[in-house]
Structure 1
Amino acid sequence: MAKEKIEKSIRKELDSGRMFGPFTYEQVTKQFEFFRTNPLGAVVNGDGSLRPINDLSFPHGRSDIPSVNSFVDAADFQTTWDDFDIVSKFFKEQKGPVLLALFDWEKAYRQIPTAPHQWPYLMVRDFDDKILLDTRITFGGVAGCGSFGRPADAWKKIMMSEFNVLKIFRWVDDNLFIKRNDSPTLMADVVKRSDELGVKTNKEKYSPFLEEQKFIGFIWNGTNKTVRLPDEKLAKRIRQVQYFLEIGAEFSYNEVEVIAGRLNHVSYILPQLRCYLCGVYRWLKDWVHRNKQRPIPKDAEEDLHVWLTTLKNFQPTRLIARQDPTEVGWVGDASTGYGIGVLIGRRWAQFRLRSMEELDRDMEEGEEEEKRISRLETVAVRLGLLMLLKLGARKGKTFIVWTDNTTTESVVLKRKSKDRFVNHEWKKIQ
Structure 2
Amino acid sequence: MTTRPPNVPEQLVVDYDAFGTETPEELLAKAEEWRKLGPVVWTDQNHGHWVVLGTPEVRVVLSDPRKFSSSKPGQGITLTRTERELHVPIEMDGVDHREYRKILMPLFTPARVRVLEDQARRISGELLDDMVKAEECDIVADFARPLASAMFLSLVDWPLDDRHKLEVLVEQELNPPGATREEKAAAKGEAVKQLAAYCRERIEIRRRAPADDMTSTILNATLADGSPIPENRLIPMMVLLCLAGLDTTQSVLSRSLDYLGRNQEAQAEFRDNLDLLPTMIEELLRWNTPAVPNRTAMEDFELGGVQIVAGDTVQCLLQAANRDEDEFPDAWSTDFTRTVNRHVAFSVGPHKCIGSALARVILNAALDEFHTRIHGYHVVDSKAHIGAVWGMNNVRMSLTTSREPATV
TM-score by length of 1: 0.23
Q: TM-score, normalised by structure 2?
A: 0.24
Structure with the bigger percentage of strand: 1
Q: Which has the higher helix share?
A: 2
More RCO (CA 8 Å, sep 6+): 2
